[in-house]
Amino acid sequence: MSPCKRRFVAGRSFSELGEGNQTLRAKSVHGNLYTPDPTRQIGGVAVRGREDTRRYAVVVGSANMDLVATTERVPAAGETVTGIDFRTFPGGKGANQAVGVAKLGGRCFLIGKVGQDAFGDSLLASISGAGVEVDRVGRVKDASTGIAVILVESGGENRIVVVRGANERVLPSDVDAAADMISSAAALLVQLEVPLSAVSRAVQIAHEAGVKVILDPGPAPAEPLPDSLLEMVDVITPNQLEASVLTGLTRVESQSDAERAGRRLLEKGVGTAVVKLGADGAVVVSRTREPVAIPGHRVKAVDTTAAGDTFAAALTVGIMEGLDDVEACVFANAAAAISVQRPGAQASIPTRSEVDAFLSRHPSRL
């Protein structure tokens, strides 16, 4: 039976969800159980028997203030419904993922833009307070800080409207100004909430320097990304909608659909495709092995807003530590499973110790 056909613990159903410089435990696969390995370390110390002096990740991406309203159901056109709760949270895919890397044990620099307004002040304080280096986050006078209006149903599903604001001002020149920092990183993590020209420039710099490039292609692009960009991406992590847009497939719903989408992405030049399948987990499609199906975990979802960002951040940390793609995805699934049980974006992202404990209780069988 090929790895992509293996099933996990009988009788279990799953829901896919997908500080600083201290020495922390990493993960490895022992047989078919994925459990913490206390003998491995992070932060430039003895990863798979080699010394990795590139000890940080760079995230190029958005920073938004999330305005979150919780309701029993979203209103139909022309309808008004009474909400349950309203809160504001620091967010934006770039900022979320940078905070995720920091909370999960990696050093991280964020390149982005915010407005010279109260939301911008609050975002910078929150992001830096989480351990992210924000020296490369610029302030824009004539544009507001980006916002995201998020409607969360009581079951945890969400609908999001983003007003990009200052995020639209992230330019290739901003990336060029940080070229040395990107070239010396262990990994570059990018998304699609800032202009594609800036994303492409960052990917080019990282690729030419031999830095691992992880692309979380959200929000779903209006059209497929150019192959010239995808050829420089080491790992891409689309959800079902994003995979459909990027590959031209009518739909991506089943495991076989995900395998097909992953192979198409490999044909476009991507190194590894991790296609996320909602409640059915994720499928890893690479050039070195048969596709591998990885489940999520059975949890009660409260808010799925940051599940994908948590997954991307954890995957990046795993790759920085020397885990292979499958190991890193198992780690990412666990981190995302924790995040959906909490409200908010950055506030929901777990710490490394929380993920270690979760995996000790819920090892995944491959």
**Considering only CA atoms, which of 189, 197, 195, 281 is closest in space to residue 235?**
189
The single residue of 234, 257, 303, 309 carrying the catalytic annotation is 309
Given the structure tokens 């079951």, which residue do they identify?
155
Structure tokens belonging to residue 144? 């507001």
SS3 annotation, the chain:
CCHHHCCCCCCCCCECCCCCCCCCCEEEEECCEEEEECCCCCCCCCECCECCCCCEEEEECCCEEEEEEEECCCCCCCCCCCCCEEEEEEECHHHHHHHHHHHCCCEEEEEEEEECCHHHHHHHHHHHHCCCECCCEEEECCCCCEEEEEEEECCCCEEEEEECHHHHHCCHHHHHCCHHHHHCCCEEEECCCCCHHHHHHHHHHHHHCCCEEEECCCCCCCCCCCHHHHCCCCEECCCHHHHHHHHCCCCCCCHHHHHHHHHHHHHCCCCEEEEECHHHCEEEEECCCCCEEECCECCCCCCCCCHHHHHHHHHHHHHHHCCCHHHHHHHHHHHHHHHCCCCCCHHHCCCHHHHHHHHHHCCCEC
**Which residues, 6 or more positions from 16, have their beta carbon under 8 angstroms from its beta carbon?**
276, 277, 278, 279, 280, 281, 282, 295, 296, 333, 336
234: annotated active-site residue: no
What is the Cβ-side half-sphere exposure of residue 328, based on CA atoms within 13 angstroms?
24
**Considering only CA atoms, which of 205, 199, 170 is closest in space to residue 184?**
205
Active site residues: 309
